[in-house]
Amino acid sequence: MVFLGIQRAIEIISEASRHIPAELLDTERNIPWSSIRGMGNVLRHEYHRIASDVIWDAIQHDLPQLKSAIERMMTIARP
């Protein structure tokens, strides 16, 4: 159940990334935005091909970097 919950959270992150304005995405060029968007599609449509080690790697390495990038973007976006 935890694994499925994590997959769903990654799907939500993926979809949310589609709604970030391009000018904010440009401030964080080190983040692979197209891969983030693509991950959601894979989880929604090809979930049977997702290995747990791929999800675990994303949790350990990608999400912390993404969180930091989003926090920096939020400081720019706030008036």
Domain region containing 27: 2-77
Mean pLDDT on 60-65:
93
Residue among 40, 25, 39, 36 nearest 70 (CA): 25
Q: Does residue 79 have a pLDDT over 70?
A: no
Q: Full-prediction pTM beyond 0.85?
A: no
Summarize pLDDT for 10-47 with one digit per residue, the tens.
Answer: 999 999 999 999 999 999 999 999 999 998 888 888 76
pLDDT at 55: 86
Beta carbons within 8 Å of 23's beta carbon, 6+ residues apart? none
Structural domains of the chain, count: 1
